[in-house]
């Protein structure tokens, strides 16, 4: 499915087209505990969803969480949404490799271009929201998700976060470079990776994240995973 024009424009989609080929390898190097994040997100959803459920995967990328979630629960139907065709191509191959085609639907576009109204029992938004500026775009994406979730449905969210310029942030940022080196990235790649993050990520602190979630219609986030500047939370679509 290809989306209608114009929704949610602030991310440079061409940037993800370029990154798609290297994404899986880069993610393993740059995100401490990348696989653990997906395993824990899956464990949380298995712990709270019924045997049959509809799960919305926003920013599906190369399909990592579609494959992990789809393999974990044979009764779940998944919808993966992403504005990057190159990322979705890779997701499609990963899904086929895992034999999940019949339970996974891919939507080329944005959450806001999916049919309106509730219908999903859970959603994931892993490593996506940090790319949107906090000028209404982060809130709009969270609201689009809230609008499509049943009351009480869980949202699993992971993001880079923190307050640039604070000693805590700067210390974790330097350590991030060291962790990429330790994972085998050469110096020039580390420098490029850190600069790309500074250029493309719109960092907010944990309390701002909680305020955005509340404004969009979600309850208190509970943190379940973290590594340096990365964090992940689960919260619920408020009832009524």
Ligand X SMILES: C[S@@+](CC[C@H](N)C(=O)[O-])C[C@H]1O[C@@H](n2cnc3c(N)ncnc32)[C@H](O)[C@@H]1O
Enumerate residues 6+ apart whose C-beta is below 8 A from 84: 13, 16, 17, 20, 61
* Helices then strands, each counted (H, E), the chain: 9, 7
Binding of ligand X by 58 (CB under 6 A): yes
Of 161, 144, 158, the residue nearest 206 (C-alpha): 161
One residue of 49, 55, 79, 110 binding ligand X per CB under 6 A: 110
> Where does this chain touch ligand X (CB under 6 A) — which range of 67-75, 82-90, 166-174, 176-184?
82-90
d(CA 128, CA 141): 10
Min dist CB 167 to ligand X, Å, is 27
One residue of 56, 87, 106, 155 binding ligand X per CB under 6 A: 87
Min dist CB 147 to ligand X, Å, is 14
d(CA 206, CA 191): 26
> Where does this chain touch ligand X (CB under 6 A) — which range of 56-64, 94-102, 170-178, 205-213?
56-64
One residue of 29, 64, 73, 156 binding ligand X per CB under 6 A: 64
Phi/psi of residue 54, nearest 5 degrees: -110, 125
For residues 235 and 240, which CB has a smaller minimum distance to ligand X in the complex?
235
SS3 of 83, please? Answer: coil
Binding of ligand X by 121 (CB under 6 A): no
Give CA angle at 21 (33, 134), nearest 5°: 60
Residue number closest to ligand X, CB atom = 61
d(CA 111, CA 97): 25
Terminus-to-terminus CA distance in the chain, angstroms?
31
One residue of 126, 146, 155, 185 binding ligand X per CB under 6 A: 126
> Where does this chain touch ligand X (CB under 6 A) — which range of 61-69, 189-197, 198-206, 224-232?
61-69
**What is the contact surface with ligand X in residues (CB under 6 A)?**
8, 11, 16, 27, 58-59, 61, 64-65, 81-84, 87, 110-111, 126-128, 131, 141
């Amino acid at each position: 499915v290809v989306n209608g024009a114009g929704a949610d424009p602030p991310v440079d989609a061409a940037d993800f087209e370029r990154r798609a080929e290297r994404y899986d390898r880069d993610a393993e190097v740059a995100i401490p505990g990348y696989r653990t994040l997906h395993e824990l997100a899956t464990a949380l959803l298995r712990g709270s969803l019924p045997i049959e459920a509809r799960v919305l995967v926003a920013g599906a990328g190369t399909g990592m969480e579609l494959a992990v979630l789809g393999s974990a629960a044979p009764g779940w139907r998944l919808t993966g949404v992403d504005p990057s065709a190159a990322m979705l191509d890779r997701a499609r191959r990963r899904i086929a490799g895992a034999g999940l085609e019949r339970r996974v639907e891919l939507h080329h576009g944005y959450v806001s271009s999916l049919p309106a109204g509730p219908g999903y029992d859970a959603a994931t938004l892993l490593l996506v929201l940090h790319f949107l500026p906090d000028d209404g775009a982060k809130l709009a994406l969270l609201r689009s998700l809230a609008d499509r979730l049943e009351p009480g449905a869980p949202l699993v969210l992971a993001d880079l976060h923190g307050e640039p310029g604070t000693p805590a942030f700067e210390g974790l940022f330097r350590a991030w470079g060291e962790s990429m080196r330790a994972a085998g990235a050469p110096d020039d790649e580390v420098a490029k990776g850190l600069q790309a993050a500074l250029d493309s990520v719109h960092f907010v602190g944990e309390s701002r994240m909680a305020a955005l979630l509340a404004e969009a219609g979600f309850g208190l986030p509970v943190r379940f995973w973290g590594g340096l500047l990365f964090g992940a939370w689960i919260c619920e679509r408020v009832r009524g």
